[in-house]
Amino acid sequence: MDTERFDRRKFVKGVGAAGLVGLAGCTGGPESGGSDGEDTEASTTAADGEDTEASETEMSGSETTNIGMVYATGGLGDGSFNDQAQTGIQQAAEDFDLSFDESEPGSVSQFGTFQQQYAQSTDPDYDLVSCIGFLQADALSETAPDYPEQDFMIVDSVVDADNVRSYTFKEHEGSYLVGQLAGLLTSQSFSAGDSSTAGDSTNVGFVGGVESSLIAKFEAGFTAGVKAANDDIDVQTTYTGSFSDPSAGQEAALSMYSSGADIVYHAAGNTGTGVFQAARDEGRFAIGVDRDQSVTTDYQDVILASMVKRVDTAVYNAAESTVNGNFEAGTATSLGLAEDGVDIVYGTELGDQIPDDVSSEVQSSREGIVAGDISVPQDPDNV
């Protein structure tokens, strides 16, 4: 393992420093250790944000619930998936006085290493290891059976193990709503801020990260929503192969805009930042994902809406049940529109400029999906 990538990070409450060499976490983005390989002192942060000295009692972690967070590739600071997960654990720390440590793997091959380090640690002894992202499933399927006394949770995949609780989302349902929004707006002349639709546009775009059955659900729902609005609208689709390459996202979106698309939706993590930049460069629009990206990024001027996915709720609920001693390992939970697990959120700057008839039609579809009157496909081949 490349130990120079990993250093110790902040805790919300003091935890033991021993056994944490190689673990990493942060409150705002990746940090790396010095090239000389020198160790760093573990810092502690009280729930109110003030740095404090950890007492011997705190350092023992005897009564404190400890949670280890293993984030998806792309890291914190993505304004999207990982940051949403971090919001959940931070809120849980405030509400339940628990402690957590965070790790940011640089590649898929490092997931198992971090999962195992948390499971092996005895100071502190982690009560739960939270694995964020579907790409962790293979590693967790191997790790979990080796540590039967360790509880794990995973977001975006189901791992069949007695000590793992799995949380998945009905991304296709929320994506249908933003797809319908895109289809309705691209079919008319619409302008807001410095951006506008082409008026005569016959296509919109979708940029995915790593091609997979999960991201295909975003694509399928989006395409179905577009077609529900206007069956004559085509959807350009590109997968960049990465969740952490803004340049690739920008290149993909620029190609779409130059080919006539005026609205592009991304499900690509930090790669999506490039989509927003392309929209600004071309005077077009974009749709965010996972969080309200008109709030978490500096692209309020081009983001029409975001398909929010409450990863924070999954992380928070898992932490709460761990604190309360009723963590349901060996189970799987799926969250959709009916469970407030996904939804459409309009942009802070552009949202109020979307015509009422458009937002009303999207709301009607939301109600139809919840009621079971509208069935949303999960596979693009079924659209």
**Per-residue pLDDT reduced to its tens digit, 103-151:** 999 999 999 999 999 999 999 999 999 999 999 999 999 999 999 999 9
Is there a contact between 207 and 264 (Cβ–Cβ < 8 Å)?
Answer: yes
pLDDT reported for residue 153: 98
pLDDT reported for residue 200: 76
The amino acid at 338? A
201 DSSP 8-state letter: -
pLDDT reported for residue 80: 87
Is there a contact between 305 and 265 (Cβ–Cβ < 8 Å)?
Answer: no
pLDDT reported for residue 130: 98
Is there a contact between 286 and 279 (Cβ–Cβ < 8 Å)?
Answer: yes
- Phi and psi at residue 51, to the nearest 5°: -70, 140
- Phi and psi at residue 74, to the nearest 5°: 110, -30
Query: Looking at residues 22-37, what average pLDDT do you find?
Result: 32
pLDDT reported for residue 55: 34
Is there a contact between 306 and 299 (Cβ–Cβ < 8 Å)?
Answer: no
Model confidence, pTM: 0.80
pLDDT reported for residue 69: 98
Residue 43 clears pLDDT 60, i.e. is over it: no
* Per-residue model confidence as pLDDT tens digits over 224-266: 999 999 999 999 999 999 999 999 999 999 999 999 999 999 9
